[in-house]
Chain A
Amino acid sequence: MEFPNLEYINQLAGGDAAIKMKLIHIIKTEFPEEKKEYYRSIEVGVFPRIEENVHRVKHKISILGLTKGYEVANAFEYNLRNLDLKGKEDFEKILIVITEYIKTI
């Protein structure tokens, strides 16, 4: 099981605390919104919208260093393009992990 980390953000910020805080702030504010949007789209069942939501979250998954999680999201996004929900549960597990993690940063 892999865990989110701030390695990429630290590397990018290069010791600049302001940049680091800005990036963390964006994740903390945008991720809950994106997650909410995703579940709303799942309820409605419009595949292109779900795909769009997954695509947006996918970038944050990679920023938080979840390499395997990124692959899971990628595969799910591909399946959604083919109107297939395969990979939904695994993707949603990642959402839970990130939700817990961002409470700590």
Chain B
Amino acid sequence: MKCIIIDDEKMARVILKTLCNEIQSLEVLEDFPNAIEAIKYLNKNRVDLIFLDIHMPNFNGLDFIRSLKDPPKIILITSDPNFAIEAFEYDFIVDYLLKPLQLDRFKKAIEKAKTKNLTLASKETSTSINEIENDFYISIDRRLIKIDLPSIYLIEAKGDYIKIKTENKDYIVHSTLKKIEEKLPDSLFLKIHRSFIINLKKIIDIEDNSVLIKKDVIPVSRSKRPELMKRLDLL
């Protein structure tokens, strides 16, 4: 993590740098005796973490926090925890450390900063997985064709093949209904007959033992009907 230190006391800056040297994953890029100089630096450089003294003359740590447009993670340094309370309204404040700083406590704060990193990273990963899950790849003539999952309204078994019907186009793929059923999200699709999987969002109406999807009337197996009715939002 690339970090900077902002503290008007030289002693505090030296102590912080000494502690940072103990942590391999930390790289101190710069240290500043006041917040104004730090803002100028941050306008041109990106950092992952800021060690920020709250109690500084003229432009204090809280003024600095309020001035940040795209704040990185911040660990507050203070000799009075009461000063830190206001700052904890901000979710980018990872922790606060009381002066004089102790190595063990310092390490814990760094771990918190790293965990916050992981939380953000895992959030990003799950988002990308969702995006992938919204796409579906089928193999036709050695080409992988991407299909938007919600655009599929019907999948029909045709011997050794399946027919995938989407809003724009139909596709014939060498596969089985069972195989494709395993890849589809349960929340959106339901197998209502041994030969048909439907997109529940695309149902127009249901009559006795059939559903209308687009212009297709699809039979519903007697065994599948209770499940279908359960999945619908009935008044």
Interface residue ranges, A against B (CB under 8 Å): 8, 11-13, 19, 22-23, 26-27, 30, 52, 55-56, 58-60, 62-63, 74
Give the number of A-B contacts (CB < 8 Å).
Answer: 39
- 18 more contacts with CB within 8 A, not counting A12-B19, A55-B55, are A8-B100, A12-B15, A12-B18, A19-B18, A22-B14, A23-B15, A26-B11, A27-B11, A30-B11, A55-B79, A58-B79, A59-B11, A59-B99, A59-B100, A62-B79, A63-B100, A74-B79, A74-B80
30 chain-A/chain-B pairs, Cβ below 8 angstroms: A8-B100, A11-B103, A12-B15, A12-B19, A12-B103, A13-B18, A19-B14, A19-B18, A22-B14, A23-B14, A23-B15, A26-B10, A26-B11, A26-B14, A27-B11, A30-B10, A55-B55, A58-B79, A59-B9, A59-B12, A59-B99, A59-B100, A60-B11, A62-B79, A62-B100, A63-B11, A63-B15, A63-B100, A74-B79, A74-B80
The interface of chain B, by Cβ under 8 A from chain A, is: 9-12, 14-15, 18-19, 55, 57, 79-80, 99-100, 103
B11 adjacent to A23 (CB under 8 Å): yes
Q: How far is the CB of B74 from chain A (nearest CB, A)?
A: 20
5 shortest A-B CB distances, which residue pairs? A62-B100, A26-B11, A63-B100, A59-B99, A19-B18
| Least CB distance, A3 to chain B, in whole angstroms | 17
Most chain B CB within a 10 A radius of its CB, from A13, A56, A59, A74: A59
Complex interface: chain B residues within 8 A of A19 (CB): 14, 18
List, in ascending order, chain A residues with CB within 8 A of B10's CB. Answer: 26, 30
Chain A residues within 8 Å of B18, by CB = 12-13, 19
- In the bound complex, residues from chain B placing their C-beta under 8 Å from that of A22 are 14
Question: Measured between alpha carbons, how far is A63 from B15 in the docked complex, in Å?
Answer: 10
